[in-house]
């Protein structure tokens, strides 16, 4: 099957699409339409909301069909992220208003990680549960019920090649995590470059993932509605936290479908440390 390499097309984000991005998007759309429960979808790969099933659908699903595209061809873990909202509009298949809901309004959210095994993690607002795919029976088996993430983590995950583009606050935070400034957190660095994989490791082992705004990406890189919000929902349900540096991700009012946001997510005390340090550095001018 011809599934590796670039598709030779550019998506709405201005990014090169891989063949697997395109295939995953088609598979997701088909699967959600098939349920008869989804009226409207939105995808990282498509500019506008995608109508599904007007008659039956009570729900709206937003997704990143294949997260971590740069890792596809080098056999590093990648994932799929999804966010499910109740439809709020009345007519037809729904419209943009159904997509632009706060993360707090999600009825369920989660992700699938394709790594050494295929694991699905989700929350419907009642804890976080992990399932692993048993390829013999073709079903997901529950492996981890009611996941609780550690309050403080041993890992920090950030693309440090952006260091000179960050604000003084983030530069200080990373120096603290390395143990060369402040009270010596001395955390271990782990960065895969697939959000799902970095998030999943930190969820289980404890840690913090950050993708701040920088001078190249003034609003951050990651997308609010189908990357940050669903993972924030999972993080909070597991006892962790997610913030854009000042505001909980789940409280941000979305204005645009492909809106970007800075993201700080993971162990609760570590996220609080980041918010506190950003405030202090800002106040000190
Ligand atoms: P994608 O959805 O096009 O794959 O982009 C999102 C990915 C995230 O998975 C990851 O956290 C981030 O981009 C890595 O970005 P960078 O290469 O700038 O560190
Ligand atoms: Mg992505």
**16 versus 114: which is more confidently predicted?**
114
Fold equal for 6-144 and 155-284: no
Ion ligand 2 — residues with CB < 5 Å: 64, 67
Q: How far is the CA of 32 from the centre of ligand 1 (A)?
A: 24
Long-range contacts of 145-149 (CB under 8 A, 24+ apart): 147/121, 147/203, 147/204, 147/238, 148/238, 148/239, 149/202, 149/203, 149/204, 149/206, 149/235, 149/238, 149/239, 149/240, 149/266, 149/267, 149/268
Q: Identify the CATH class of 6-144.
A: alpha beta
What is the percent of the chain where pLDDT is above 70? Answer: 98
Domain boundaries, the chain: 6-144, 155-284
Residue pair 22/45 in contact (Cβ under 8 Å)? The answer is yes
241 CA distance to ligand 2 centroid (A)? 20
Residue 25 CB–ligand 1 contact under 6 Å: no
User: Region 130-134: what's the mean pLDDT?
Assistant: 98
User: pLDDT (tens digit, 9 = 90+) per residue, 249-265?
Assistant: 999 999 999 999 999 99
49 lines ligand 1 (CB under 6 A): no
184, pLDDT greater than 70: no
Binding site membership of 43 for ligand 1 (Cβ less than 6 Å): no
Question: Right CATH number for 155-284 from 2.40.160.150, 3.40.50.300, 3.40.190.80, 3.10.129.10?
Answer: 3.40.190.80
Where residue 183 falls among pLDDT bands split at 50, 70, 90? confident
Token representation of residue 227: 């990357």
- Mean pLDDT calculated for residue range 1-27: 79
Q: Ligand 1 atom 6: the closest Cα is on which residue?
A: 68
Mean pLDDT of the 25-53 span:
94
Q: Quote the pLDDT of residue 178.
A: 93
* Res. 60: pLDDT tops 70: yes
Q: How far apart are CA 197 and CA 114, in angstroms?
A: 9
Beta-ladder partners of 63: 43, 82
Mean residue pLDDT of the chain comes to 94
Q: Which residue has the higher pLDDT, 280 or 56?
A: 280
Mean pLDDT for the stretch of residues 52-79: 91
CB-ligand 1 contact for 234 (6 Å cutoff)? no
Distance separating alpha carbons of residues 272 and 240, to the nearest angstrom: 10
Among candidate residues 132, 60, 87, 105, the one with its CA nearest the CA of residue 233:
105
- Indicate whether 54 pLDDT > 80: no
Alpha helix ranges (H) inside the chain: 19-35, 96-99, 168-178, 195-205, 229-237, 268-284
Assess whether pLDDT exceeds 80 at residue 150: yes
Q: What is the pLDDT of residue 226?
A: 98
Give the strands of the sheet with 38-43, arranged side by side.
Answer: 50-51, 38-43, 59-67, 78-86, 108-114, 118-123, 129-134, 139-144
Q: Is the CB of 162 under 6 A from ligand 1?
A: no
Whether residue 3 has pLDDT greater than 80? no
Reduced DSSP (H G I as helix, E B as strand, rest coil) percent helix, strand, coil of the chain, to 5: 30, 30, 40
Query: What mean pLDDT do residues 120-143 have?
Result: 97
Which of 72-76, 223-227, 235-239 is least confident? 72-76
Closest CA to 194 of 227, 225, 235, 217: 227
- Scan for tokens 């419209």, then name that residue: 95
């Amino acid at each position: 099957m011809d599934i590796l390499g670039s598709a030779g097309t550019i998506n709405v984000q201005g990014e090169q699409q891989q063949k697997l991005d395109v295939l995953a998007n088609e598979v997701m759309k088909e699967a959600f339409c098939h349920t008869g429960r989804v009226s409207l979808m939105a995808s990282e790969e498509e500019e506008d909301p995608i109508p599904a099933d007007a008659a039956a659908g009570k729900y709206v699903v937003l997704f990143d069909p294949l997260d971590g595209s740069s890792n596809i061809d080098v056999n590093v873990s990648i994932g799929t992220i999804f966010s499910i909202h109740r439809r709020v509009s009345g007519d037809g298949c729904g419209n943009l208003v159904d997509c632009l809901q706060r993360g707090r309004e999600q009825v369920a959210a989660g992700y699938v990680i394709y790594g050494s095994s295929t694991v699905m993690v989700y929350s419907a607002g009642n804890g976080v549960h992990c399932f692993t795919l048993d390829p013999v029976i073709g079903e997901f088996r529950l492996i981890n019920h009611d996941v609780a993430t550690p309050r403080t983590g041993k890992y920090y995950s950030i693309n440090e090649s952006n260091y000179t583009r960050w604000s003084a606050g983030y530069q200080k935070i990373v120096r603290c995590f390395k143990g060369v400034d402040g009270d010596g957190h001395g955390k271990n660095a782990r960065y895969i470059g697939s959000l799902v994989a970095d998030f999943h490791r930190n969820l289980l082992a404890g840690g913090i993932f950050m993708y701040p705004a920088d001078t190249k990406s003034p609003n951050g890189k990651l997308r609010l509605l189908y990357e940050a919000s669903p993972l924030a929902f999972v993080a909070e349900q597991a006892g962790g936290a997610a913030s854009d540096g000042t505001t909980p991700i789940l409280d941000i009012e979305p204005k645009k479908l492909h809106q970007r946001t800075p993201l700080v997510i993971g162990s609760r005390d570590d996220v609080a440390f980041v918010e506190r340090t950003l405030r202090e550095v800002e106040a000190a001018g």
